[in-house]
Structure 1
Amino acid sequence: MMMITDDDGAFDGGGDWGCRVEEMGERGGGGGGGDVFKSREKLMEWVRNTGRSLSYAIVTKRSKTKNGYVSKVVLMCDRGGVYKSVKESSKATGSRKINCPFEMVGKYSKENGYWTLKVKHGEHNHPPGEYMEGHPIFKRLKPNEHQLVAELTGKHVLPKDILGMIKECDENNVSTIKNIYNARDKIRAKEHKGKSLMEMLMSHLQDKGWHISQSIFRNCKESFTTERDWNSFNVMWNVLVESQTWTSFLQYYKQLQSMLIHHQDVLDYLNSTWLNKYKEMFVFVWTNECLHFGNQTTNRVESQHAKLKRFLNLANCTLDKFIGHVDEVVNSQYTIVKDSFEKSRTVVMHKHNLPMLKLLRGFISHEALDIIIAERRLNRSHCRCQVRKCYALPCACEISKYKKAGQSIPLDSVDEFWRKLELPVHCEDITCDVELESFKKAFDNRSKPGKKSLLPKLKEITNPSIRFVEEPDVKENTRGRPATKSKQKNRTL
């Protein structure tokens, strides 16, 4: 999209809202003739669709009710206004508000029975959004979609399947699985007449070392006679894995040896299968010395496999359905990634609103800012530069230097990995000239029978409906002897 900015830094998003309103009036796009709308819903639908085409999200600023009906609605950019903190909260909160001046006013005429729209200020003070997935107004479910969620939830359809059906009906839908869960919660709360559901308290298994833990469980659990001994062993093993220094690793290993003095088979299994061969790949004292950007899981393939199985939800699945479910998993993750990118670009978390981070906000991911804030609280004397080594982010001693000099943390001190807030777009032309030339040479060098064998393959590529390979006939019942002599004769032919 072409982005236009005035000398004072204002953005019109590649299109003027006033011109759009005039064009709508000329086409009668409001549905009521001229520049009017038959209803407030029609007005809001046009405003949001137009805003989306310009990559801006427009929301309601305030409305005015007169004699029991809404007579006026003031619209603004979702980045308009200034955040006002009411009270402190333990939740991680943030705001995308940067006092954007964009504003439009819709008024209802009771005498004429229609709505009119006027642009009061048609410019923004920020560039258009990159991904609409990061704007809550666009992720919100429409009334018909909310009704579909209610119906399918009553039929025990899984949330991921509900989301898939909604996206099939509307290819522009950018809702995430979280929107489906939120809608289900509201539906259930309404069904329970406002009563909250019982909160389930359960501990979540750590992602780190899950594959190893599962293997240890299968091979070592039976060696412990009581649950208490097994739990104690698990605690000691996790402490060993999370050793931060070589000295502490040796100390915890000796404690593990003492604990397993009557379980030599378990100690032998841990040494031969994991510690002797792979300790450098999962024990913290080694992994903290290499760049991993926080990804220390030992089962990336298995975790994706488990996620795919949740989407399948079937013991058996045909190939065509399987490919469709793989596509659903990828699209779901793709939407979540774009949502995360747009939030990092536009939403300022209140805990990130520090002078030291002013050069980083909006240019690196929220996760990176969280890591820097946690490192900022660390005493410089305790810094082992692990954040610099493992995450390629400023560590405690670096942050201390910037703080002492009264400087903000520069953007170039952050690795490019954390600065990627947009997905790569491959615009280069893709050609097959080289491959076709190579095929022609190979074809010319073939014998006559060889040329005949290659031609059907080329025809299958250019015309997939033509298939030269057919499935063999399968006999439904091949067991036993045929009942009549005629059938015996047919079988021998």
Structure 2
Amino acid sequence: MTEKTGPINSQPITNEIETVLQRHMASYNENMTGFVQQTLIDVNSQPLVPAPAISLRLPTPEIKAELSPKPTIEMDKNSPILVEFYETFPTGQVFDSLASLRSTALEYGKKYNVALTTSKSDKTKVYLICKHGGYYRKNIKKATSPDKPMVKTRIRKSLKNGCSCLIYARYEKKGDFWTVRKSIGEHNHPIAEDPRTYAMYRSLEPEHLAFVHKQLKDSVCISDIVRSLIESGVKNIVSKDIENIQQDLKRKQAKAMAVAVALP
């Protein structure tokens, strides 16, 4: 087969087309090589920015306690504990002083074994709440320095379960008295029957305290002292209370001895 030639020159058309294609391919490859190299330079020159860390915060025990349903105890509206509460601390009830309000709450609490403690207090207001009110918040002690590790605190079972029983009173400056602004007598937990439940009510009368002091000085064992108190009608004392009295006596004796030694 005879090859066709162009009208201008005698070179075959096929060779001319191949030459043009080769020239364009060479130019294309050169341009692409430069483009790829520049792209790599641009990419590598960018600073590495770390992706933002995703923080998953698990609910704390406090949040779990607040989100969890509160236990409810149906209390009889005609029960003496509620009737006397609302008769003693109705909204608008006036007390001559804060001390009078506190002593009245203490007498009521001791009578029905309800521990009313101070939640907030200042010169103008006071909140007396059930000891089971609020929620426990873990106290985390941070390390004071990098060399000292964080101190682990002992985990104790909390009595707080969100009980709403409270007495809120404010000081009325014009009349110089305290007025109950809000009171809730209902509890969301069973009322303890054991008079030894709350330490604030485990106190001894002066004559019983003198008896305990004498027994301790005579080296009588603590269990025998508790047994003697129970036989005499004192049923709100536990062995730990006698141990605390014993430790207090030892501290006072050590202090008195130190003072005596220091005297000329």
TM-score of the superposed pair, with normalisation by structure 1: 0.28
Structure showing the higher helix proportion among its residues = 1
Higher-Rg structure is 2
TM-score of the superposed pair, with normalisation by structure 2: 0.48
